Chains A and B, each alone.
Chain A
Amino acid sequence: MDPQTGASTFETQAHGVTLSLTQLLPDQVRAFYVARGFDLADANVFAEACVFMTVLRNDAAPGEIDFRLTDWEVRYDGATRSLPPPENWLTQWSARGVPDAAMLAFRWAQFPAEQSYAPGEWNQGMLATGLPPGSRFDLIARWTIADQTYEGRLDDVRCTD
């Protein structure tokens, strides 16, 4: 846990890949998006969606990894669900009249919906689960190397209250 913010990080290593989720406090998320052109009501929608700063890194996998967030699963309250795709958020922002420049910032600040990492490559971005504040869930991340699927699992991840 970060002693300054109280935010917790959840991390796992599997098959040469590191995955970490760090809680983002709603204030942090709100501040970021309001500064980039969201109005407060719109920023609040995302800030309350259980957002994590997510890092996925190919440290030493036996080849280039490919992943799509649509293959990842959230297990919450006895059910398995998908992560809300970034496109859904963008559709919502468009309907709410969020300015184009703000939507552009949103799109690039998200963890990529799909990506490939050679050994040493990585990304960092925001990932929203859409779960209520304080929820606890398990995340199953999946990636492939030469058509073989691998998994990494984070158990009992907690959304900020």
Chain B
Amino acid sequence: MFVAPIDRICKGLPVLPALLLCLGTVGAVGTGAAADLPPLSHRLTVIEDPAPAPPLRLEDIDGVEHDIADLKGRLVLVNFWATWCPPCRREMPSMERLYQQLNARGLTVLAVDVGEDVDTVFAFTGQLDPPPTFPLLLDTDSSAAQDWDVKGLPTSFVVDPEGRVIIRAVGGTEFDDAAAIEQLLPFLQKP
């Protein structure tokens, strides 16, 4: 099978696919093998002194406003990400699987894109398998990421039904790993 040099592939692609492929490759460089990508984490970090979640009120890519204050009583996974961020892209399918598995038991997922516009995010979602069915919010000026003291992407937080931030995950995470799910189950309704 012919394998074209990656720089030729990148130059031959329109801007968005080129970025996705080439920066994905940037994230993978090492030996060039997928097995050498930095591994996604399989654990979540419990926050010892939970504090109330910062405000989060943003529109999604369909123009619908979401306010985390309206989600009291549910467990909420808030994920800060961007389309160009390789570990963000790698972890997103696991968030969708987690959402499918636990939504009926009280889990909400809010994925907050940092600094990009609706066209960029919309074009990206069509490439995911499975595609996300949870809301994709737009933090176009990154003010929400700053309010939540995000320092790098991806960063995720779990907000308990009382509105406190109880768990965080810095860096790409396999959210539907059994160990991660085990940490969430005590805060969800029983099946």
What is A's interface to B at a CB cutoff of 8 Å?
1-5, 7, 9, 20, 22-25, 27-28, 31-32, 35-36, 53, 55, 57, 101, 104-105, 107-109, 111-125
A residues within 8 A CB of B5?
4
A35 touches B142 (CB 8 A): no
What is B's interface to A at a CB cutoff of 8 Å?
3, 5-7, 10, 15-16, 18-19, 22-23, 25-27, 29-32, 38, 41-43, 45, 82, 84-87, 114-116, 141-142, 145, 151-153, 169-172
A121 touches B114 (CB 8 A): no
Give the nearest-CB partner of A113 in chain B: B151
Give the nearest-CB partner of A25 in chain B: B7
Which among B32, B169, B172 has the highest number of chain A CB atoms within 10 Å?
A: B32
9 A-B pairs with least C-beta separation:
A122-B171, A123-B152, A121-B170, A118-B45, A112-B152, A120-B41, A2-B32, A104-B115, A112-B151
With A5-B6, A120-B42, A121-B171 in contact, do A108 and B142 touch (Cβ < 8 Å)?
yes
With A35-B19, A53-B27 in contact, do A115 and B151 touch (Cβ < 8 Å)?
yes
Q: Do most interface residues of chain A lie in helix, strand or loop, or is the interface mixed?
A: mixed
16 contacts between A and B (CB under 8 A): A4-B6, A22-B29, A31-B10, A31-B22, A32-B19, A32-B84, A104-B141, A104-B142, A107-B142, A112-B152, A115-B170, A120-B43, A121-B41, A121-B45, A124-B27, A124-B86
Q: Report which of B3, B32, B84, B145 forms a contact with A109, defined as CB distance below 8 A.
A: B84
B residues within 8 A CB of A22?
26, 29-30
A7 touches B29 (CB 8 A): yes
B residues within 8 A CB of A124?
27, 38, 85-87, 171-172
A123 CB, nearest partner CB in chain B, Å = 4
Query: Measured between alpha carbons, how far is A36 from B115 in the docked complex, in Å?
Result: 10
A100 CB, nearest partner CB in chain B, Å = 8
